[in-house]
Amino acid sequence: MFNETKPVDRTTSQPRPAQSPVATVDSSPETTGVSVLIPTYNERENITTVVTECLKALPSSAFELEVIVVDDDSEDYTWQYPERLFGDDPRVRVIRRQSSEKGLAQSITDGFGAATHDFCAVIDADLQHPPEKLPELLDALKEGADVAIGSRHVAGGGIENWPLWRKIVSRGATTCAGVAIPDARRISDPMSGFFAVRRSVIEDVDLDPQGYKILLEILGKGDYDAVTEVPYRFRQRERGESKLTAEEYQNFLEHVGQLAVASRNLDEVIDPMRAVRGAEFAFVGATGSAVNMLVFVLVVSTNAHFLLAGLVAFLAAVNWNFAGNWLVTYDRPSGNLLRQYATFHGVSVVGFVAYTGTLTVGAISGLPLLIANLFAIIAGSGINFFGTETSVFPTGATREPVSGQV
Ligand SMILES: Nc1nc2c(ncn2[C@@H]2O[C@H](COP(=O)(O)OP(=O)(O)OP(=O)(O)O)[C@@H](O)[C@H]2O)c(=O)[nH]1
Ligand SMILES: [Mg+2]
């Protein structure tokens, strides 16, 4: 009965039935080559245990193993511990990333580049993922799966002691991922950080994730057919701090936005990152229009001329939009804030002309004032976005658009 799990096609993923310990022992003589990647950031208290557990779970009798710790230059010197404690064990390697681009998913992407085996497994350092389940993930690959996912949401899987809000957020994120990435829809736990993958799945793929969710990047862009899910229980973090900040939630939404474009091959026409900024700009703009409307109504209620009300409302919205775009759309870009503020106002003048022109034409042609004002906002913000992309936060457009992309 065991090992009956046949990899199924890409559109459906099947949970792998719970295996008795006996069944996971690979009886075939040859060993399985596997690279285990562990992303670390300030995991001094956990790193020794997790490396030890991985070495124990994948003995040399059955596995040709390398454990690669990918550390983002932890302040607590996490990267030094494996070097000191496992320095003479050729199976253990440390990559100390000292680039400005910190990030879990980016680290794993670099880890894939350094890995030498055909099977690559990814496991967190804080022991929330059970190293003893690694052989089952690899068995699933040996049985033909291209991607083997440790799942909390199939029979036998689960999450220990998570507060309700995290369960709700995680479910919401899973739904988001399913909406954005068609291939993730039939996978019960696309948000998993515990998985194994055949190198061929990512070989010719330009992995460029943002934030935490490297598996989503692979599901959205990878070249795979069969996915198998292996149940596991996500344990509570015992030691060390969580690195899951609010910024990671924004990273997640931006990443999913990019994958929504890329997984539909729209990245041939639009730069996914620009599409995401466009959506964020529209979101900020939408809140800005609410500010605009509010101020417009307030000023109009003082019997001021509608053009004056429009001017005051527009300036209020411009300032709101500047703050919102600086904070959200362009992620607090470096550069001279005053220059950015002034240029944003300059760009908004052109938008304002379009705004006023549209409002005037709308009012004169008898459109209800509020509708005319709405059209004016759309005309204005449409111009503002490209003006902002090109001259206010040019860094936002650092990603050189490939020819033919907008
Ligand atoms: N290299 C690298 N690793 C990271 C980074 N952020 C987190 N990690 C590691 O990624 C793994 C998952 O991070 P956690 O903070 O545990 O995230 P989480 O499991 O969702 O959150 P908790 O349940 O609170 O632990 C851990 O091994 C972290 O050390 C980073 O920026 N760079
Ligand atoms: Mg954790």
Averaged pLDDT, 115-131:
97
Q: Stretch 119-148: mean pLDDT, rounded? A: 97
Ligand nearest to the CA of 39: 1
| Of 45 and 368, more confident | 45
Q: Indicate if the pLDDT at residue 14 is higher than 50.
A: no
Q: Which of 96-105, 132-141, 154-163, 390-399 has the highest mean pLDDT?
A: 132-141
Comparing 387 with 397, the larger pLDDT belongs to 387
Ligand nearest to the CA of 79: 1
Adjacent-strand bridge partners of 63? 32
Q: Which ligand is nearest to the CA of 244?
A: 1
Which residue is it, tokens 């800005």?
288
Same domain, 59 and 194: yes
Q: Which residues form ligand 1's pocket by a CB distance below 6 Å?
A: 39-41, 43, 70-72, 102-104, 107, 124-126, 128, 237, 242-244
Backbone φ and ψ of 402, nearest 5°: -70, 150
Measured from the alpha carbon of residue 51, the closest ligand is 1
Q: Kindly tell me if the per-residue pLDDT of 157 is higher than 90.
A: yes
**348 and 235 assigned to the same domain:** no
Q: Which two tokens stand for residue 21?
A: 């310990």
2 pLDDT tier (thresholds 50, 70, 90) = very low
Q: How far is the CA of 242 from the centre of ligand 1 (A)?
A: 6
CATH of residue 18's domain is: 3.90.550.10
How many whole angstroms from 43 Cα to the centroid of ligand 1? 9
Task: Find the mean pLDDT for residues 17-38.
Answer: 65
Burial of residue 31 (CB within 10 Å: 0-12, 13-18, 19+) is middle
CA 38 / ligand 1 centre spacing (Å) = 10
Same domain, 117 and 228: yes
pLDDT higher than 60, residue 155: yes
Q: Are residue 212 and residue 312 in the same domain, yes or no?
A: no
Atom 24 of ligand 1, nearest CA residue: 242
| 315 and 220 in a common domain | no
User: If residue 351 lies in a helix (H) or strand (E), which one and from where to where?
Assistant: helix 337-364
Q: Give the number of the atom of ligand 1 that is nearest the alpha carbon of residue 128.
A: 19
As a whole number, the mean pLDDT across the chain is 88
**Residue 1 in domain:** no
Find the mean pLDDT for residues 279-305. 93
**Predicted confidence (pLDDT) per residue in 328-357, tens digit:** 999 999 899 999 999 999 999 999 899 889
Q: Same domain, yes or no, for 234 and 312? A: no
Q: How many domains does the chain divide into?
A: 2
Asked if residue 184 is part of any domain, the answer here is: yes
For every residue of 173-194, which 3-state class applies, written as one string? HHHHHHHHCHHHCCCCCCCCCC
Contact status, residue 115 vs residue 104, Cβ threshold 8 Å:
no
| 288 and 184 assigned to the same domain | no
C-alpha angle with apex 58: 197 to 155, nearest 5 degrees? 60
For residues 138-144, average pLDDT: 97
DSSP 92-111: EEEEE--SS---HHHHHHHH
Residue 1 pLDDT more than 50?
no
Per residue in 239-262, pLDDT tens?
998 888 888 889 999 999 999 998
pLDDT(81) > 70: yes
Q: What confidence score (pLDDT) does residue 375 get?
A: 87
Residue 24's nearest CA partner among 52, 69, 59 is: 59
Read off the DSSP letter of residue 242. -
CB 280, CB 380: distance < 8 Å: no
Last residue of a domain, one of 242, 261, 294: 242
Helix 337-364 crosses helix 306-324 at what angle (to 10 degrees)? 140
Measured in Å, residue 136 CA sits from the centre of ligand 2 at: 21
Single-letter code of the amino acid located at 388: T
In a domain, 375, yes or no: yes
Whether residue 321 sits in one domain with residue 204: no
Is residue 38, in this structure, part of any structural domain at all?
A: yes
Average the pLDDT over each of 7-16, 63-72, 244-253, 254-263 and give the range with the smallest value: 7-16
Compute the average pLDDT of residues 261-290: 92
Judge whether residue 13 has pLDDT over 70. Answer: no
| Nearest ligand, measured from the Cα of 41 | 1
Indicate which atom in ligand 1 lies nearest the CA of residue 70: 1
What does the DSSP 8-state code read for residue 263? T
Model pLDDT, residue 328:
93
Strands 233-234 and 158-159: parallel
Q: Is residue 399 part of a domain?
A: no
On the question of pLDDT at 158 being above 80, the answer is yes
Query: Which of the four pLDDT bands, split at 50, 70 and 90, describes residue 150?
Result: very high
How many other C-beta atoms are found inside a 10 Å radius of the C-beta of residue 106?
A: 21
- 328 and 236 assigned to the same domain: no
User: Do residues 277 and 216 both lie within one domain?
Assistant: no
- What is the domain extent for residue 59? 13-242
Residues 27 and 164 both lie in one domain? yes
Give residue 124 CA to ligand 2 midpoint distance, Å.
7
Measured from the Cβ of residue 375, the count of other Cβ atoms closer than 10 Å reads: 16
Alpha-carbon span 184 to 186, nearest angstrom: 6
Cα–Cα dist 51/85, whole Å:
10
- Does residue 309 sit within a domain? yes
SS3 (DSSP) at 67: strand
Measured CA to CA, the distance from residue 54 to residue 260 in angstroms comes to: 34
User: pLDDT value at position 377?
Assistant: 85
Residues 14 and 6: their CA atoms lie apart, in Å, by 9
Ligand 1 atom nearest 236 alpha carbon: 23
Amino acid at 234: F
Mean pLDDT value across residues 302-329: 92
Residue 286 included in any domain:
yes
* Matching residue, tokens 């300030």: 42
pLDDT at residue 395 above 90?
Answer: no
Do 172 and 39 share a structural domain?
A: yes
Separation between Cα atoms, residue 142 and residue 35, nearest integer Å: 14
Q: Ligand 1 atom closest to Cα of 193?
A: 12
Give percent of the chain above pLDDT 70: 90
Q: Is position 192 within any domain?
A: yes
Spatial separation of the C-alpha atoms in residues 386 and 389, rounded to whole Å: 5
Yes or no: say if 275 and 258 are a contact pair by the CB < 8 Å rule.
Answer: yes
The last residue of one of the domains, among 224, 242, 260, is 242
Strand pairing partners for 197?
A: 120, 147
Say how many Å lie between the CA of residue 41 and the centre of ligand 2.
11
Place of tokens 């507060």: 163
Mutate to test the pocket of ligand 1, among 70, 74, 78, 126 (most ligand atoms within 8 A of CB): 126
Which residues on adjacent β-strands are paired with residue 67?
36, 92
Q: What is the pLDDT of residue 29?
A: 57
Distance from the CA of 123 to the center of ligand 2, in angstroms?
A: 10
Strands 119-122 and 147-151: unpaired
Q: How far is the CA of 328 from the centre of ligand 1 (A)?
A: 23
Residues 96-124, mean pLDDT to the nearest whole number: 94
Confidence band of 22 (pLDDT split at 50, 70, 90): very low
pLDDT for position 19: 45
